[in-house]
Each structure stands twice: as C-alpha cells, then as structure tokens.
Chain A
Amino acid sequence: MSVLLDHLPVIWQGLVVTLQLTVASFLGAAVLGVLVTAMRVSPVGVLRALGTAYVEAFQNLPLLVLLVLAFFGLPEIGIKAEPLVTAIVVISIYEAAYIAEALRSGVNSVGKGQGEAARALGLTFRQSLWYVILPQALRTVVQPLGNIIIALTMNTLLAGAISVVDLTEEAKRINLVEAQPIPIFVGVGLIYALIASGVGFVTGRLERRLVMVR
C-alpha cells in the first residue's frame, strides 16, 4: 500500500474529481428524475409518452457510449464544454432515467385516495404531486435511491474515457509509473467501497427516520 501513500496528493485530486462527479451528477439527476416522473404520471398523454420514451431510451443505452458521443458529438454542433462538465451533464441525464423509474414505483405505492383527496381540496396536479404524492413516494424509495447513488458513484469512472482525470484515472497513471496494479487498485477499490458504505449508512438512517405510521 505504501505505493499509494507515495502518491497521496494525486490520489486526493482524483478523489475530489470523483466526488464532484458524484455529487453534481446526483443533484442533476434528482432534479431531472423528478421532472421525468412528473411527466410519466401526468394526465396529459403526450407528456406521459415523452417521459416513458426518455426512461426507455436512457436505460437501454450504455453510459460509455453516451459519454463518448457527447464528447465528440457536441463540439461538432458548436457546443464546447469542459470534459468534467460534459461528464456531469451526461451522467445526470443517464441516471435520471433510473431515478425516475424508482420514483415512479414509489408514486404507484402511494394510495390512489391520497391524490383524490388532494385534488378534491382544490390543489392543482402540480401541487398534489409536490406536496402530497412525491413526499410519500420518496419515503418508500429511499433504499432503491441509495442503490442508484452507489451505482452512480461507480459509473463516474467512465468519465475517464473522455479525459476526465478522476480517482480511477489517477490510479491508472500511477500504475504506469509504478507497475504495481494489485496494491494500487485494491487501495482505490477500498476508497470507492468507503464512499458506497457512507451512502448506504446515510440512506439506512434516513429510511428509519422517515418511516411513516400507516
């Protein structure tokens, strides 16, 4: 492991990039995921179809392909962005499909009467969703959302393919110099495991806190 300690500053740099990718992509995916969920349960047929198409499209395409396409394709149509920003946007769009799917199963688990009561009180569809349905849906999908965040954390390493130097990319570079793949990647693996168990811990706590008496 001492090989890692020798390169601590770059490992740290890589970790910071990985955390940036994770946090920013999750926030983007959360906002987009809620929007797509709203579309999928909307009373308007066209919006429902668009929402479904979104989820189908992005769940059925590999993230790596999307990243590479965006990295090389966007400049072609005149959009230039930092690789890090491109990666965050693409990962957000991709993971939003998974978040939307989890949220929709949560929405389905909320009794039909809750929405009816909200509408009967004069709340609009948006208000019913925001104040009544989503808060309850969220409580039932804390654990699946945690799993999505963990998967997202692991997926961030694909950003290395479009020249973002994250934790894994730093590890590869160190290995080019040191040629000690086992200790380097065991160490880096442990760092990812630590992030994942942190996420698992927080969602576990959240789930217990938010449990509803029914």
Chain B
Amino acid sequence: MIRVRGLNKWFGEHHVLRDIDLHVARGEVVVVIGPSGSGKSTLCRCLNRLETAQQGEVVIDGVPAPLEGRELARLRADVGMVFQSFNLFQHKTVLENITLAPMKVRGVSRPEAERTARELLARVGIGEQAGKLPGQLSGGQQQRAAIARALAMRPKVMLFDEPTSALDPEMVGEVLDVMTGLAADGMTMVVVTHEMGFARRAADRVVFMADGQIVEQGAPAAFFDRPQTDRARDFLAKVLTH
C-alpha cells in the first residue's frame, strides 16, 4: 500500500531522514516510535507530501506520489491524516468540518455527506456534538472529530502524527480506543506515537527510529521484549520504567 524507497531529507544542514525504506502492506498497522527529533513525524508528513524529501520516492497504492497540483490533491484525498493539534476548521461546525472535503473533493451531495458524517460521529462516540464549533469541544472530542473527518474521505491509508500528544492524560484513552477499533476493522495505518501500550496492543509492526534512520523494526512482542539494538534498548529503558 505504501512503499518508501531511499528517502532522504534535509532541513538546511540538518539531515532529518537518512535512507528510509519502508513498506506498509494493505491492512497493516505500523507504529513508528522513537525519541523526539528522530524524524518520525517528518517521515509521516512525507507520506502525503506535506513535507517534500530531496531524495527518494513514496509510492501509494502503486502510484508514485506526484509533485504538486491536482494529482497531488487526488493522492491526498486517499490518504487520511490526523494531526497532533487536531487542526479542525475553527469557523465550521463539527458536521461541516466532516462534510466539506467529501462535497468539494469527491462531489458527494450534501444529504449523503451529512448522513455519512453523522454515522462516523456516532462511530467515534460524539454523535451529539455535530452542531458545535471545535472550540466548544474537549481535546479528546476534537481529535475524534478529526479522525471522523479523515475517515469521511474513505481513505486507503490513515496517517496519525502523534494524535494523543496534545491531549490531557484522561482523554488519551478515548482517542486510542477509536484507533484500536479502526485497526481491528482492517484499516491500513501508520501511527507515530509515544503510546507504548497502544503500539504493543494494536501494531502489526513496530518501527523504531533514531537520528533520522530506521534502527530496528519487528513485531511488537519481539521488539518490546527482546530489542536487538543498544539504541532501542536504551530508549525502551527510558520510556518503560515509568
């Protein structure tokens, strides 16, 4: 579903992604973990070209990601993305947030878009919030609305860029539950997160990044119980002790 080959990216002098190769199969849930500044968010943003890499290619569902314009917009329509800071459209109600792209990009009629939106809101557990503005919702509710917004495009892949990092601790669970449900339904997912419990529970594969490289990857049980590299052992020792 996603194939990344030889991806290299620099921010000025800083080499943030080094020779990244990554293959995500249809229906696979890949969780990317690693210390801050390891390039995992940048990698996630390169997958739908919110960031452009200087070298290498990203192929989504057999199609090389186009550089710009309408082709790129079409690709992005098929790739859902959930951000750390939700990024719901502040001037639109939750329902309007969800119906905008299906109507404008896919040409879905308003009644149908609204029906789908309400179904999705019910699915993420905030059916009663449809008429509210994002600012009137809690962080957890906003993030669930953002997930519903991405799902409304019926994406082939969902990208999650630290979806729970901006949430109060008591709201992390409700968002992770929605994501776990999605994973169980067979959605192809790439999740950048610091939630080790989620990685262990929901991931088919854990990818560990450090210093812009993929250092180690494997099934979650194997990775968490028997990390192969010092870098991963060191990282896990720091995050799992508390």
A contact set with B: CB distance below 8 Å: 43, 111, 113-114, 116-124, 127, 131-132, 135-136, 139, 212-214
Q: A122-B105, A213-B133 are in contact. Are A139 and B150 (CB under 8 A)?
A: no
* B14 CB, nearest partner CB in chain A, Å: 20
Q: A127-B104, A212-B135 are in contact. Are A121 and B149 (CB under 8 A)?
A: yes
Residue tally, chain B, CB below 8 Å to A: 34
Say whether A136 contacts B100, CB under 8 Å.
no
- C-alpha spacing A35/B82, complex, angstroms: 31
> How many pairs of residues, A versus B, come closer than 8 Å at their CB atoms?
78
Say whether B50 contacts A136, CB under 8 Å.
no
Say whether A120 contacts B100, CB under 8 Å.
no
Main secondary structure of the interface of A (DSSP, over half): helix
Enumerate chain A residues within 8 angstroms of B78, measured Cβ to Cβ. 122
* A145 CB, nearest partner CB in chain B, Å: 17
B contact set with A: CB distance below 8 Å: 48, 50, 68-70, 73-81, 83, 85-91, 100-101, 104-105, 133-136, 146, 149-150, 153
Say whether A139 contacts B91, CB under 8 Å.
yes
Enumerate chain B residues within 8 angstroms of A132, measured Cβ to Cβ. 89, 100
* A136 CB, nearest partner CB in chain B, Å: 5
Say whether B73 contacts A123, CB under 8 Å.
yes
Q: A132-B89, A214-B135 are in contact. Are A122 and B73 (CB under 8 A)?
A: yes
Say whether B81 contacts A120, CB under 8 Å.
yes
Enumerate chain A residues within 8 angstroms of B81, measured Cβ to Cβ. 117, 120
